[in-house]
């Protein structure tokens, strides 16, 4: 039974540099698929796949206006992008927890 948590989906979505670039671009304001595809040097189809993954992770929402699809940051948008820094923080928290154990040990032996 593999259950994909929203966090897993977020990380998977953020694992790709193109998708991170898309989020960064959308942080500046909404854009159409073709506006996103051009700087990434990608086909519309290729970019659409990335947008769909971001949509599944609720990082991006899209709306169709006539023949163009407009993308903007989803409700979780920026909050979850900061998970990027949060993962880095957790790594340090874990290191410092272990340093703390060492310090406690030393404290015990010095008194």
Residues in the site for another protein, rule: CB under 8 A? 2, 8, 11-12, 14-15, 20, 82, 84-104, 106-107, 110
Query: By C-beta, is 63 or 94 nearer to another protein?
Result: 94
Query: By C-beta, is 14 or 59 nearer to another protein?
Result: 14
Query: How many angstroms separate the CA atoms of 110 and 83, rounded?
Result: 40
Task: Report in angstroms how near the CB of residue 6 gets to another protein at its nearest.
Answer: 13
Q: Where are the beta strands (DSSP E) in the chain?
A: 31-32, 60-65, 68-73
Query: By C-beta, is 12 or 42 nearer to another protein?
Result: 12
Residue 72's nearest CA partner among 22, 15, 14 is 22
Helix axes 17-27, 33-40, angle to 10 degrees: 130
Task: Report in angstroms how near the CB of residue 21 gets to another protein at its nearest.
Answer: 12
Task: Report in angstroms how near the CB of residue 72 gets to another protein at its nearest.
Answer: 21
């Amino acid at each position: 039974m593999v259950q994909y948590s929203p966090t897993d989906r977020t990380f998977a979505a953020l694992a790709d540099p193109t998708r991170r670039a898309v989020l960064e671009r959308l942080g500046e304001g909404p854009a159409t698929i073709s506006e996103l595809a051009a700087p990434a040097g990608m086909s519309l189809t290729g970019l659409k796949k990335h947008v769909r993954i971001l949509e599944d992770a609720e990082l991006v929402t899209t709306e169709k206006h006539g023949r163009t699809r407009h993308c903007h940051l989803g409700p979780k948008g920026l909050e979850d992008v900061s998970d990027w820094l949060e993962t880095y923080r957790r790594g340090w928290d874990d290191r410092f927890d272990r340093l703390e154990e060492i310090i406690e040990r030393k404290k015990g032996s010095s008194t």
